[in-house]
Amino acid sequence: MNTKSAATTERRKLSIGILSRGPSLYSTRRLVEAGRERGHTMRVINPLRCYMNIAAHRPEIHYRGEKLDEFDAIIPRIGASITFYGTAVLRQFEMMGVFPVNESVAITRSRDKLRSLQLLSRRGVGLPVTGFAHSPDDVRDMIGMVGGAPVVIKLLEGTQGIGVVLAETPKAAESVIEAFMGLKANILVQEFIEEAGGADVRCFVVGDRVIAAMKRQAADGEFRSNLHRGGQAMVIKLTPEERATAVRAAKVMGLNVAGVDILRSNHGPVIIEVNSSPGLEGIEAATGHNVAGVIMKFIEKKARPHNTRTKGKG
């Protein structure tokens, strides 16, 4: 028997749950398909329909009248709007010993842009110079601190490029910041990486490797390259430094699967975001890679009871 078929016969058949509210979403469908192709039992679970028994030493999860105790692994695909409940459900699975592809603690961390940047900066990962202030009295000084206009102003709660504004002059920067502060919105102010030319690089990290990467180029007259904002995706070759930066960023955040967004700056690759539920559609279409299949192989290697860093303690 050759080694390949030996590996196939020996592969453990796993029961894998996907925590997702959208069974028909591309990413969810692809994960189901890739798992079934590899012989696993796949089931999509709506996290908002899970209810929990938190009695001492017997963590349980119930779902539409049934006790869920069959899973070897869970793939969390928890939308930003349900982070609180979704991560509580995931934590309960972790306490039951189920292997989470990304741990609840890491997801919670990555959902807070400011906390993420603080964690990354502490570990020396390249970032755009970034400021954060509370009082309008400190705005002028903070703009100077990040290098002066032009600056990018970001709402901490924004996603998909909404709430990301480019202020080209000091006056514009001050008025936008004051307006956001007046609305009690939390914002961060960042050096504008003009030399990125409206492009960013999405690195898809699984385990300790970048398994696919694409460049996203903003539409004409736009600096935000989000595909939802009309950006175009294309394949690119990463430099070794970009690869290392992306892997390190995912590691610092404690994420096994991550979409790490990088800008190419004059001072090397800088991280703008680490996403814990990166979409599969854009990256699979742009690169032709079977990203869902790689995630399955990672699960096959890692799924063992209680194989987490925090065991839901975080």
Under the rule (CB under 6 A), what is the footprint of ligand ADP? Answer: 128, 152, 154, 158-161, 164, 190-193, 196, 200, 218, 223-226, 261, 263, 272-273
Nearest alpha-carbon partner for 202 in 268, 123, 121, 284: 284
CB of 222 to ligand ADP, least distance (A): 9
> What backbone torsions phi and psi does residue 285 show, to the nearest 5 degrees?
-65, -45
CA distance 18 to 182: 40
Q: Which is nearer to ligand ADP, 105 or 262 (CB)?
A: 262
CB of 196 to ligand ADP, least distance (A): 5
CA distance 276 to 259: 7
Q: Which is nearer to ligand ADP, 32 or 250 (CB)?
A: 250
Q: Which is nearer to ligand ADP, 60 or 157 (CB)?
A: 157
Question: Can you read off the two tokens belonging to residue 299?
Answer: 């699960």
CB of 204 to ligand ADP, least distance (A): 15
CB of 163 to ligand ADP, least distance (A): 7
CB 238 within 8 A of CB 201: yes
Tell me if residue 89 falls in helix, strand or coil: helix
Residue found by looking up tokens 């990290």 in the block: 205
Q: Which is nearer to ligand ADP, 14 or 164 (CB)?
A: 164
CA distance 156 to 113: 6
CB of 15 to ligand ADP, least distance (A): 33
Q: Which is nearer to ligand ADP, 60 or 222 (CB)?
A: 222
